[in-house]
Structure 1
Amino acid sequence: MAGALRFILGRAGTGKTYTCLKEIKETLAQEGEEGPALILLVPEQATFQMEYELFTTMPRPATARAQVLSFRRLARRVLAQTGGAARPWLGELGKRMVLRSLIQKHKDSLILFGRSASTPGFTESLAHTLAEFKLYNIAPQELAQQAQELTQSGKETPLAGKLHDLALLYGELEAYLAPRYTDPEGYLAYLAVKLKEASLLQGAHVWVDGFTGFTPQEFQVLESLMKTVAEVNISLCLDVRDLSQPSAEADLFHPTRETYDKLLAAARSQQVKLLLPLVLNPEEELAPRFRPSPELAHLERYFFDYPTRMWAGPVNSIREVAAANRRVEVEAAAREIIRLARDCKWRWRDMALVVRDLELYHDLVATVFTDYGIPYFIDRKRPVLHHPLAQLVLAAWEIVNSNWSYDAVFRCLKTDLLPISRTDVDRLENYVLAYGIRGKTWLRSAAWDFHVGTAHEEEWADIDLLRRQVASWLEPLVAVCKQPDLTGGSLSTALWLFLEELEVGPRLNQWAQAAAADGDLELAQEHTQVWIGFLGLLDELVVGLGDTVLSPTEYAEILASGLEGLRLGLVPPSLDQVLVGSLERSRHPNVRAAFVLGVSEGVLPGRASEDAVLSDREREQLLEAGVELAPTSRVNQLHERYLTYIALTRASERLWVSFPLADPEGKALAPSRVVARLRELFPSLREDYAMADPSGDPIEDLNFLTSPKLAAQHLASQLRLARAGHAVGPVWTLVQQYLYSQPNWAVLAQQAVAGLVHSNRVQPLPPPLARRLYSRHNRISATRLERFAACPFQHFTYHGLNLKAREVFGLDLPSLGQFTHAVLRRVTERLLTADRGFGDLAPEEAVQMVQEEVEQVVPQFSGGILTTSPRYLYLTRRLNRLLTSAVDVLGEQGRQGCFRPWYAEAKFGYPGAPLPGLQFYLADGTKLMLAGQIDRIDRAQVGDKSYFTIVDYKSRSQKLSLLEVYFGLSLQLLVYLLAASAGLRAEEHELVLPAGIFYFAVREGFVRSSGPLSPAEAAKARLKQFRLEGLVRGEAEVVQLLDQQGGGTVMAPILNQDGRLRKGSPAVSEEQFELLLDFAAEKVKEIGFRTLKGEVQVAPYKLADSTACDYCDFPAVCQFDPLLVSNAYRVLPKLTGDEVWQAMQLAVKGGGPKYE
C-alpha cells in the first residue's frame, strides 16, 4: 500500500531543519519508544552534526526509535536485514583498484585513453565517470551503441573513441564485479528493490532534509520509500511563490524546483498520497533565523530580486572587508572572531567560516587559527598521501621496483615508522651519498668498505650495522617479489607482514596517544583513521584482486591509485569550535556569525569547470541521443547563484564578506559582483580595509591584541618602526609595559623583540684557544690565507670549526679539476723520468700518452665513478679530448721556448716533501710554517744561471690581479714563488732565479673568427686561447727563453719592436719581483698573526661584483644579510696599477696608508 508524501517548503532561515527535528521529538514525546522507526535522512557529511542536534535536545537522549541515516547507511542497514548483501561488499577504493588493473590489461585496446592510462589522477576521473553512468542507470551496451552510431555516421569526433573506451572498460568492470561483489554504485539500486522487505521501514516515518537534488538512483530509493513507509517528508529550500510559474534555468531556486517537480511527478505516477505541503514563513513574516537582524532578512529576500529594493537604515550586521592578500584576509577574520568571543561572550560554535574553494584557504586557516589560539575544525575529506604511512608503503614498493634507489630508501626511512633514529638515518644517508651506493650493494654480505683510511673505523662499522638492519627489514618483501605467479593476495600478505614486522600499527597508536596528550585531537584521529583506512584498503584490494596475477610493478600502481583516492572523514574533536567549510560540502549549523572569505571574481560565484572525461558539448550530444548524465558545467554555473545565496544566508546576526586584492604571486584580483550587489542593496555599507599590521590608531590597534604571543610579535614590529623614525601608537607603550610586568609573558616579549637587537657580530677568540684551533701542525696554506683575507669568519668555519659541506657522489668542477691534475701530473712524471719536455712529444705520442694515463686514473679516481654509467663514460671521453688538447698546447709552448719540466706537484712544508716549508716568525715570536703543493715547476738553464717558472693549472681562464694580491685575495702564486725561491736555492749551488708565475687553463677552447682561417692561422689562434697568464721577469733574456719567436702565442706580447717593455704587458722588473716576494712574506705574517690573535669577525669583502659570500658553503652559520643595518660588506677600493705598487712598497717598509 502506497504511503504519503509531504513537502516542507521555505526559503533559507525559515526553519526547515528545525521543523524536521521538532516533529521527530514531538512524535517521540507523544508515542514513546514503542512504534515504527523515525528516520532522518540527510547527506553523508551531515550525519554526525544532525545526530548531535537531534539527541542533545531530546527528552530521552538514548533512543533506538529515532535514527539519523544517509543513503549509504540506510542501504547497509536494509541490505544486512534483507540478505541483499550476501556477496562481499566492495568499496569505492576497491573498485578503483580493480579498474586500474583493467586499464593495465586493456591498455592496448583503448583508442583514446591509452596514452592517458598512466597519468596521475586518470583512474580517479575515469572511476567518477563510470560511477556516474551507474547512478544514471546507463548500461555499457548503450555506450557501445552510441559509439557505433557515431562511427557509422562518418563524423570524425573524439566522442566515438571515448565512448568505445568507456564501453569497453565499463563492460569489463561490470563483468568482473557482478558475479563476485556488491557494487558500491549499485547499492542504491539494490536498496530500492529490497526496501519493501525491510521490517525496519514498515510503518516508518521519514524526514529527508539537507538535499538540493538527487541522482536517478536516489530518486528510485525515494520512490520506493514513498510506497513502503507510512509517510515521507521532504524539505526543500524553495520559494513557494515560484511554483505557480514554469521553471527556468536562470531562477535562483531552479535546482530545488527541478527536484520538487521530479518528486511530485514520481509520487503521482506511483499513486502516492500527496499531503498538503507545509509552507514555512509566509511572505509577510520575518524568517525565524533573521529575527535578530532585519538587515540580513532584507539581504535574503532581495539580494537576487530586481528592481533593487535598497535598505534605508544604517548597516550594523554586515561588514565588507578588502585585504591585501589571503593571509591578511584570514588574519583579519581571526581577529574579529576573537573579538566576538572575548568582548561579546560568544561561543566558538556560534561562528563559522565559509569559502567557495577550500583548497585556497585550508592551509592558511589552519596556520592562522593555530597561531591565534582559535579552536577550529576544517570540514573536508583529508587525503592520506602526505601521511608517513602512505609514504612508507609507496617507498617500500619503489625500493622493490627500482632496485633500491636512493630516493626510495631514504623516503622510506624518513617516515619515522621504522625503528631507527633520524640521527642514524642522517649518518647512513651521508655515507650513501658520499659513495654513490645503489642497488644490490645494500644486500651484499661483505662489509661496506668504500671509505679510504682507518681514521673513523668505528663510525664505518656502525654505519655498516645500520645498513644491515635496514636491509633485514626490507629484504623479505624484496624476496617475495622475486617469486613467480604472484597475485594481489600474496603481494598484500607480504606487505602486511612487512608492516607487522616493523610494528607500524602500534607505533601509529603511540603517535595518536601522544597527539591526544598534547591536546591535538584532530591529529590523533588522523593517525588512528589512516591505519584503519589503510587496512580497509588492503582488505578491498584482496577482495577485489586477491586471485588476480599481478607483477610487483602492476601491484604498486594499483595500490598507489587506491592510496590516491583514500580520504579521511574526521569528526569534530570538540563541540565548541569554529566550523570551517566549503559551500558544497559543509552543512553549517545555526550560527550567529558567518565569515564568507574569498569573495573574488571567478571564485564566488565560482567558474564551473567541464568534466575531465566528457566535455559539455559531448554531454549535450548524448542528451540529444537520449542519454541523460549529470548537468553540464553551463547548468552548474547557473546553480552557482544558489550556492551564493546559501553562503549569504547562513548567519542569524552578523555577516562578514571579504576578498583579497592580490594572489600569492602578487597578481591583482577583482572583487566578485556579489560585493557590488551588496553595495547596491545597502548604500550605507562601508568598505573596511584589513590592515596587515597595526596602524597606530588606538581603536584599531586594540583589535590586534588577540593573545600575548601575537601582541608581543606586533610589539616587535612597532618597535622596529620606531627605530626607523616612525611614530608608534600609544597602545604599544602600554602593551610593552604590561607584557614585561607579567612573569609568564615577559619571556614572550623578550623572544619577540630579540630580532631587533640581534647581531651576528662575533667576539674574537681568546688567543690561547685560537692557537689550539689553528696550530695543530703549525702549518698554514695559501688557501687558508686567502680565505681569511676574504672573510675571517669564513676562515673560522672551514678551518676552526672544520665544517664540511655534505659529500655527494658525483663530479663537480673541483673534482674534475682533480682528475685533470692527476693525469697531467702522471704525464709530467713520465717526461721527467725520460728527461724529456712537452716540446719533445710528437702529436701522436701525446695522444697515446694521455690515453694511457687516463686509463690508469679512471678506475682509481673517486671510487671509480667514471665507470659507473654511460653518462660518465661519455664524460671520460670528453676529458680525454680535453687533456689531449692541453698536452698538445703545452708541447707547442715547450717548442717555442726553452723551459722544461723540473717538478710535478712539488710539495713543500710536509714530511718527505722535495721542498722545505717556509718558516715565518710573527710579531709575537710565534713560528709559522707555510705548506702547499705546486702543480709544476719548469726550468731553463743559461750558463751558471737557472731560471724557473711556477705553473698552476686552472679549470677556467684566470688572470693574476695585483689588486687582489694586495688585499690578500690572490696569494697562491706568490706563496708558491716564495717557497720555490727559498727551497730551490737551498738545493742548488748555482744561481736560481724566478722567471715567471703563471696560470694555465685546462679547458675547452673555441676560436672565434670573422672569416675562414688557414690551418696555420687556426693553430696560432688556438694557441692564443691557451697562452699563459701571470707575471714574467721583464728581461730580454727571460722573455727569449719563454717565447723565442715572440709571437704572443705563449703569453701576451711583452716587448715592443724597439726592445722596451710594452705598456700593460705581464712583465715586471727584477725590483718589482723582489717587492712582490717581500710583500707576500709580510702579508703571510700579517694574516698569520691576525689568525692566531683570534680574529673571527663576519666581514666579507666586496670588490666590484665579487664577494666573499659567492662561494661560501655556510651562509646560514654567519647569517650575514647586507639588508641589515649592522651588516655591510667590507668594500675594497679599486686602485690603479701604480697605486698598488706604491701601497706594496709602503706595506713592506712598515708604514703608509692602508686601503682597507
Structure 2
Amino acid sequence: MLRFVFGASGAGKSYHLRKEIIERSIAEPDRNFLIVVPDQFTMQTQMDIVKQHPDHGIMNIDVVSFSRLSHRIFEEVGESHEKVLDDMGKSLVLRHVAEEIKSNLPIIGGSMHKMGYIDEVKSTVSEFMQYGIEPEMLDDIMDVCGNKGALKAKLSDLRLLYSEFKKYIKGNYIAQEELLDVLCKALPSSKLIDDSVIAFDGFTGFTPIQYRVIDEILRLSSEVIFSFTLGQEDNPYNYDRNEEQELFLLTKKTVHDLLHLEYENEKSMDPSAVPDFERWAAYRNENSRDVFLKNTEKGRHASNPELTFLEKHLFRYGNAKYGVLKDGDSQEGETAKCTSIGILEADTVSREVQMVLSRIRKLIRENRELHYRDFAIVCGSLERYGEVISNEAGKYEVPIYLDQTGNIKLNPLIEAIRSALLTVTSRYSYESVFHFLRSGLSPLTANETDRLENYVRALGIRGIKGWETDFERIPGQIMRKLKMSNKKDSENNIIEEQKKEYLSDLNSLRQKTVDALAPLFGAEGKTVLDYSRALYEFLTGLGAQGKMAEFENSFRRQGDEIRAKEYSVIYRKVIALLDQVTALMGDEKIAWKEYAEILDVGFSDIKIGTIPQSVERIVVGDIERTRLKEVKTLFFLGVNDDLIPKAAGTGGIISDIERQFLADSLTGIELAPTPRQQMYIQRLYLYMNLTKPSERLYLSFAHLDPDGKSIRPAYLIGKITALFPEVVTERFDDRAEGDIIQTAGNGLDYIAEHIQDYSRGYMNEEEENAFCGLFNALSGHRERLLKMVEAAGVRYDHKPLSDTVASMLYGNFLVNSVSRLEKYAQCAYAHFLQYGLRLDEREEFTFDQADLGTVFHGALEKFSKKLEEENLSWDSFSKEDGERIMEEALTEFTDGYNGNILESTKRNEYLMQRIKRILFRSVDTLQYQLKKGSFVPRSMETSFDEAGEIDAINIALTEDERGRILQRMKLTGSIDRIDTYEDADHVYIKVIDFKSGNKKFDLCALYYGLQLQLVMYMNVARGMAEAKSRGKEAVPAAILYYHLTDPVLDGEKVNPDATGEEVNAMIREELRTRGLVQADREIIDLLDHEAGQKSDVIPVKFNKDGSFAKNGSDVMSADDFEQVSRYVSHLVKKSGRNILKGDIEVNPYSQGDNTACKYCRFKSVCGFEQGIPGYSCRELPKMKDDEVMQRIASEV
C-alpha cells in the first residue's frame, strides 16, 4: 500500500513519520521497518530516532540510503556482482576508451584532454545511467534531432563512447549508477523487504532508476510511506507539467509518478478490475489514508508569526504584506514590525562575513540558552564564501563545520607527482623541474632549490643533456663577484678554487634531483603496471608517506583538523588510484604523457570528506547539498544576483538550449532537468532553507565581489522586503564598533586597519576614545601591538651614510660612469642600492633590450675593424660588400655570446634575422649620411681610457686649504663613434651615440642631470682632440643619436607609384639623426653638403629666408654649447661630491607621467610610498629651452 505524508516546511513531517514508525515498531516487533533518506541524512535521522524512541534505541528500525540499502540486500541474499566502479574509475575508463576510439569521435574526441572536459563527459554518461537510457536508446533520441546537426553529431559520439565504455567494463566492473539495477533483481529474494514497512523521508524527487527500485518495493512490501513538502493550500494530486512556475510542482510530479507505479502494480494483478488511471487515482485519493499536516501549535514556526507568514507567502501569488489585511486595514492582534527577519548588507564579502559572525556572538552573549549548534549558515556559493568564513571564524573564535568536499589538486603530494611526470614528458623543462623541487616533497631544501634555480635560470639549462651532464659554466654575475672579491692578479688561483667549489655544490644538487626522478625516466615506453611501479618507487624514494604524516601532525598541532584529515588520507588515496589504474589497464602499453593525463583525471575525482569534530559547531553549507537539522537561527549569505538564482552553467556536453529542445521533443524518455526547470526547482530549495529556522532568519549580501566588481542584491531581497515592509536592513558601516569587535583576533585586525588614521589625527574625539579603549583592552597582545605602533609611526627621515661607511664603499677615489651619474640624478637611493650595495636582479638566460644594444654596438665595432682589414673606408664599400662584411662581423660577435642564446629558440633565431636586417639598413644609411658631408670617422667604441689624463674624465672633487686633491672621480665609458673634420686651425667634432630605442635629446632633462651622455662624450672627445691636434681648437659640431632600426613606413603616406629610390629616401628621412647641431651654416654644410631646406642627415630645417626653422631644427650657438659643456662638468662634479658624502636620499624624480619609480628594479626594497610622511617625489617642472639656458647661465 502507498501512503503519503504532506506538510509545509516546518509542519513536522519527519517528526510525524518517525513517531508513527516508532509506535508501530514497538507494536509489531517482528516486522521490519526501514526509513530511506538521502545519504547526508542517515546519521542525523538515526540520532533523531534514538532521541525520540522511548527506549532510546532503534531495535527493528533501520535507517538507510539507496546505496546503503543496496549493500544490505546484497549481503542478505548473497548477491555477487562485479566490482563497483566509482567516479574516479569511471573517469579513467572513459579517458582511456576515448583515446582508443578518438578517430571515430569527430566532435568530442579532440577535447578529451582539456581540463574538466572528461568530467562533463562522465557527467553525461552518469546521467544516461541514472535515467535508464541505454546506448541504443540514443538512436531514438537522435531521430528527433531533425536539422539539429551539431546535437546529432554529439549524440552520435556519446552513443559510441557510452557503448564502448559499457563493453570495456562488462564482466569486470559495474558502474555505481547500475547498482540499483542489480538491486531491483535482488529485491524479490529479500526477506528484509518482504512484508516490511518502508518510509521515504527528505526527498524532493527521484530518478528513473530509483523509481524502478521503488516499483519493486511497492510490490514486495507491506506498506510504503512517502513524506513530501507541500503548501497548506495546495492539492498534491493536481499535477500539470506545464505549470512549471508552481512552487511545489516537483512534489506534485513525484506524487503523480508514484501513483502511476501503484496503479500499474494493481493493474498487473487484475487488469479487468482496475479502471483507467484518472478514475482509479480519484477513487484512491478520496479514500486514502494520506496525512495532511498543518502548521499548528506543534509546528516549527508555531510561536513565530513572521516565519509562519513567510512560509505561507514566499514565492506565492498575491501581494500579501505582513501585518496588513487585504483591504489595507491594520491586522488586529499583530504588529507590522519585523523582529525575526533581518537583512544585512556590507561593502565586501569579508565585511559581510564579519558582520554575520559578530551577530552570532552577540546573540549567544545576550541569551545564555543559545549554543553554536542552534545556528546554521548557508551560502549562495561556498566557492566564494567558504575560505573567507573559515578564516574569519578563527578570528572570531566561532566553531564551524564547513560542509564541503575538498578537492586535493594543490596538495603537495599531488603537485609533486604531476610536476615530476611533466618533467619526464617535457624532458626536463625549467617550469616542470622547479615545480617539482618546490612542491614540498623534493630532495632539496628551499635554500638549495634557490641556488640551483639561480644557476639554471642564468645559463638556460634545459633538456636531459643539460641536466644529466656536469655543470661547467659560471654565470656572469658569479664571475663578477669572484673577481671583485679577489682583485689582485696573484689571487687567480683562489678564483679557480672558488669556481670549482661553486660548481661542485651545484652539481651535487643537480645529481640529487636527477636521482630522485630516475625511476620515472627508467620506465619510459613500458606498460601501465611498470609506470605505476616506477611511480611508487619514486614516492618511496622521496619518503612521501612520512612527509605527509609530518604535515598532518603539524596541522593537528595548529588545530586545523580539516587539513590534518586531508593529509592523513591523501597518500592512501593516491596509492589506491595507482592500484585502480593498474587493475583497469595494467598490461597496456601507453606513453608517459597518456599515463600522466589518466592520473590527472583520477586526481580530480579524489575528494576528501570530513565530519564535524563536535556537536557544538555551526554548520556552513550551500542551499542544495547541505541538509540542515532543526536550527533556531539561520544566516543566508551571498544573496546577490550573480549567485541567486544559481547560474545554470554551460549545460555540459549537451548545451542548455539543446537540453530544452530534447525536453520539448521527447516522449517516454526523461533526461535531467533543463536549466529552466532547474531554476524553478532551486526556488523550492530556497523555500525549504529560508523556512528552516524556528526563531530568526537573516539574509545578507555584499556590494563588491572578491575581484572588486560591483554586484547587486538578488531578487530574493526584493521578495522579502515586499512581504515585510518593515524589515530592517543594517549596513556594516551603520553599526557600533562594539558589535563588530567580538574577540582579540578581530580587535587586533581593527587596530591594524585604523592605527594609521589614529596616528595621523583623522579620527574625531569619539572615535579616538573608542580606539584607545580597545587598544588598552588588548594590552595582553603587547608584542603585536608594538609592531603595529612601529609600523604606524613609520616616517622617512633622510640619514646620509656616515663618513666611515661612505669611505668603505667608495674610498676617496670614485670610479664612475655617465650612466651611473644619470641614475644618481633619478634617485640617489636607487643609485646606492645598485652601485653601492651592488644589488642585482636574478640573472636570466634571456635576450633583452640591453643585450640587443650590446650586439648592435659589438657588430658595428667589428664591422669598422673589418673595413680597415680590407683597406676599405666608411665611404668606399659597396652595398654588397657592406652586407657581406656586416654578416661576418655579426656572426663573429654572436658566436658563443651568452651561451649562443640567439640560437636557443626559434624566436631568438628570428630575432637574429631581424638584427641582421637592421644592421644592413644601418650601415647603408650611416654610409649615406657620411658621404653627404665632409666628416670622416676617427674611432669606434672609443674607451675613456684612451683619453689619458684629460680633465673631462679625471675630476678633482675636493681639495684642502693648500690645494691638494683629497677626493677624485674618474669617469669610465666609451663613445660609439667620433667623426672629425680638420682645417688649418680647427678640429670639428661630431659625436654619434647609437641607440636601439627611439631616444631624443632633451635639454630640460640635461639640466636636471637625467641626460648627460652626449655632452659628456663631446667634452671627452674635445679633450682627446686637443691633446692630439697640436694647438688646434676643438669645436663641437654636433652631438647626435642614431636610431638603430629598420623603419616601417605608413602605407597611407607612400605613393603607390613610388620608385624604390623614393621609398629609400623616405626611410632615410625617418633615420635622420637627432640631437644638437651648432647653429653655424659652415659647420652645417660640412655635416650635409646638400641640406637644402631640410636635411635628411641632421636635425636641421631652414625657413625660406635662410633662417633656422623653429620646428624641425635642433641647433645651438657656439656660446650656448660652451655653457652647456661647463654646466654638465659642474653637475658631474657636484654629483660626485654628494655620492662620496654618503647622500643616499630616497628622492625619486617625477615629471608628468615619468617617474624614477616607474621601471625601478628596487621598488620592493626601498619602501617608498607617497602616503608615508617624509616620502615625496622631486617634482621637476618642464621648461622650454630658452628658460633652461637662462638657468644654466645663472649657475655657471
What is the letter of the counterpart of residue 294 of structure 2? P
Alpha-carbon distance in 1 for matches of 2:107, 2:1049 = 52
Contact 1:740 1:749 survives alignment (8 Å): no
Q: Cα–Cα, structure 1 residues 356 and 998, in superposed 2: closer, same or farther, change >3 Å?
A: closer
d(CA) in 2 for partners of 1:316, 1:515: 42
SS at match of 2:941: strand
2:299 is aligned, of 288, 293, 301, to: 288
Q: Say which of 666, 669, 688 aligns to 1:624.
A: 666
- Match of residue 1003 from structure 2: 962
Q: Partner residue of 1:568?
A: 608
**Of 1050-1059 and 643-652, the range deviating more from structure 2:** 1050-1059
Alignment-derived partner of residue 178 in structure 1: 170
Matched, 1:678 2:678: no
From 948, 951, 963, the equivalent of 2:992 is 951
Does the C-alpha gap of structure 1 residues 1046 and 220 become closer, same or farther in structure 2, counting only changes over 3 Å? closer
1:430–1:807 Cα contact (<8 Å) kept: yes
**In the alignment, structure 1 residue 1027 sits paired with structure 2 residue 1069:** no
Equivalent position amino acid for 1:339 in 2: K
Match of 1:740? 776
Residues 459 and 6 (structure 1), Cα distance of their counterparts in 2 relative to 1, 3 Å cut: farther
Unaligned runs of 5+ in 2: 270-283, 324-334, 483-497, 961-965
Q: 1:446 to 1:323 in 2, by over 3 A?
A: closer
- 1:569 Cα offset (Å): 2.0
2:679 alignment partner in structure 1: 637
Alpha carbons 1:785, 1:1084 under 8 Å: kept: yes
Q: What is the Cα deviation at residue 137 of structure 1?
A: 2.0
Go from structure 1 to structure 2 and tell me whether the alpha carbon gap of 1:59 and 1:141 turns closer, same or farther (over 3 Å shift). Answer: same
SS in structure 2 at match of 1:930: strand
> How far off its partner does 1:142 sit?
1.8
* 1:361 match: secondary structure: helix
SS in 2 for 1:290: coil
1:687 matches 2:729: yes
Matches within 5 A, 1:391-406: 391-406=415-430
How far is 1:936 from its partner? Answer: 2.2
Give the Cα–Cα distance (whole angstroms) in 2 for the partners of residues 246 and 1042 of structure 1.
Answer: 101
* 809-818 vs 1042-1051, greater mean Cα deviation: 1042-1051
Match of 2:207 in 1: 215
8 A contact 2:659–2:674 mirrored in 1: no
Say which of 67, 72, 79 aligns to 2:74: 79
Query: Corresponding residue for 2:127?
Result: 132
User: Where does residue 1153 of structure 1 map in the other structure?
Assistant: none
Partner of 1:1152: none
Instruction: Decide whether the 8 Å contact of 1:10 with 1:236 is kept in 2.
Output: yes
Q: Which amino acid aligns with 1:463?
A: L
Contact 1:708 1:739 in 2 (8 A): no
Which residues of 2 match residues 243-258 of structure 1 at below 5 A? 243=235, 245-248=237-240, 249=243, 250-258=245-253
Q: CA separation in 2, counterparts of 1:82 and 1:543? A: 28
**Code of the aligned partner of 1:105:** E
Secondary structure of 2:522's counterpart equals helix
Counterpart in the other structure of 2:809: 773
Shift of 1:225: 4.1
1:414 is matched by which residue type in structure 2?
R
Over 3 Å counting, the alpha-carbon distance change for 1:30 and 1:781 in structure 2 is: farther
Counterpart for residue 401 of structure 2: 377
Distance 1:56 1:512 in 2: 35
SS at match of 1:563: helix
Q: Does structure 2 conserve the Cα–Cα contact (< 8 Å) formed by 1:48 and 1:571? A: no
Aligned to 2:999, the other structure's residue is in SS state coil
Q: What residue number does 1:786 align with?
A: 822
Listed as ranges, the matches of 1:40-59 within 5 Å are: 40-50=35-45
How much does 1:828 deviate? 1.8
Check 1:340–1:459 CA distance in 2 against 1; reply closer, same or farther (3 A cut): farther
Corresponding residue for 2:1088? 1043
Distance 1:439 1:51, change over 3 A: farther
Deviates more, 1:345-354 or 1:366-375: 366-375
Amino acid at match of 1:208: F
Tell me the equivalent position of 2:360.
337
Range with greater deviation from structure 2 (1071-1080 or 45-54): 45-54
In the alignment, structure 1 residue 859 sits paired with structure 2 residue 895: yes
Cα deviation 1:804-840 (Å, max 9, x = unaligned): 2233322222211111111011112223456653112
Provide the residue aligned with 2:1044 in structure 1: 1002
Which of 858, 881, 887 is 2:917 aligned to?
Answer: 881
* Worse-matched range after superposition: 136-145 or 50-59: 50-59
Aligned to 2:455: 431
| 1:303 correspondence with 2:314 | yes
The residue that corresponds to 2:279 in the other structure is none
What's 2:559 paired with? 519
Aligned-partner SS, 1:1109: coil
Residue identity matched to 1:181: Y
> Could you tell me whether the CA contact under 8 Å between 1:948 and 1:992 is conserved in 2?
no
Deviations 1:700-722 (A, max 9, x none): 23212222343344346556556
Q: CA RMSD in A?
A: 3.5
The alpha carbon displacement at 1:379 in A equals 1.3
Residue 371 of structure 2 corresponds to 347
Partner of residue 1012, structure 2: 971
SS at match of 2:255: helix
Structure 1 residues 914 and 900, CA, compared in 2 at 3 Å: closer, same or farther? farther
Contact 2:405 2:610 in 1 (8 A): yes
Are 1:718 and 1:732, in contact at CA under 8 Å, matched by a contact in 2?
Answer: no
TM-score, normalised via structure 1 length:
0.90
Counterpart amino acid of residue 536 in structure 1: A
**Amino acid corresponding to residue 133 of structure 2 in structure 1:** I
Q: 1:344 to 1:833 in 2, by over 3 A?
A: farther
Per mean C-alpha deviation after superposition, the further-off stretch among 907-916 and 809-818 is 907-916
1:501 pairs, out of 537, 541, 552, with 541
Is 1:932 the counterpart of 2:924 in the alignment? no
Question: What is the distance in 2 between the residues matched to 1:647 and 1:524?
Answer: 31
Q: Tell me the distance in 2 between the aligned counterparts of 1:310 and 1:1026.
A: 79
Aligned partner of 2:832 in structure 1 is 796
Inter-partner Cα distance in structure 1 for 2:759 and 2:1169: 18
CA contact (8 A) 2:2 2:218 kept: yes
Aligned in 2, Cα 1:1115/1:60: closer, same or farther, shift over 3 Å? farther
Alignment length, in residue pairs? 1130
Instruction: State how far apart, in whole Å, the 2-side matches of 1:1070 and 1:567 are.
Output: 81
Note the alpha carbon deviations across 1:657-699, whole angstroms, 9 max, x for none.
Answer: 22334545666544444333323332322333333xxx5xxx6
Superposition deviation, residue 577 in structure 1: 2.1
Q: 1:242 to 1:1092 in 2, by over 3 A?
A: same
Paired position in structure 2 for 1:163 = 155
Q: CA deviation at 1:586?
A: 0.1
Question: Which residue of structure 1 lines up, in the alignment, with residue 276 of structure 2?
Answer: none
Distance 1:77 1:1060, change over 3 A: same
Q: Counterparts of 1:562 and 1:644 in 2: how far apart (Å)?
A: 34
- Do the aligned residues in 2 keep the contact of 1:87 with 1:180 (CA within 8 Å)? yes
Describe the shift of the 1:159–1:289 C-alpha distance in structure 2 as closer, same or farther (beyond 3 A). Answer: same
Deviations 1:511-540 (A, max 9, x none): 111101100111111222333333333232
Tell me, yes or no, if the aligned pair for 1:610 and 1:632 is still in contact at 8 Å.
Answer: no
| Structure 1 residue 1067: Cα displacement | 4.2
* Structure 1: distance between partners of 2:614 and 2:644: 29
Contact 1:722 1:728 in 2 (8 A): no
2:521 is matched with: 478
SS at match of 1:840: coil
**1:16 alignment partner in structure 2:** 13
For residue 1158 of structure 2, give the secondary structure of its aligned residue in structure 1.
helix
* Secondary structure, counterpart of 2:227 in structure 1: strand
* Larger mean Cα displacement after TM superposition, 536-545 or 810-819: 536-545
SS at match of 2:652: coil
1:206 shift after superposition: 4.7
Task: Verify the 8 A CA contact 1:599 1:657 in the aligned structure 2.
Answer: yes
Structure 2 distance, partners of 1:748, 1:818, is 51
Distance 2:503 2:380 in 1: 56
2:795–2:1173 contact (8 Å) kept in structure 1:
no
Does the 8 A contact of 1:8 with 1:277 survive in 2?
Answer: no
Map 1:485-884 to 2 at 5 A: 486-601=526-641, 603-606=643-646, 608=648, 611-614=651-654, 615=656, 618=659, 621=662, 624-664=666-706, 669-691=711-733, 695=734, 700-715=736-751, 728=764, 730=766, 732-740=768-776, 742-752=778-788, 756-775=792-811, 778-833=814-869, 836-884=872-920
Cα offset, 1:954, TM superposition: 0.6
Alpha carbons of structure 1 residues 510 and 708: separation in structure 2 relative to 1, 3 Å: same
Secondary structure of residue in 1 paired with 2:520: helix
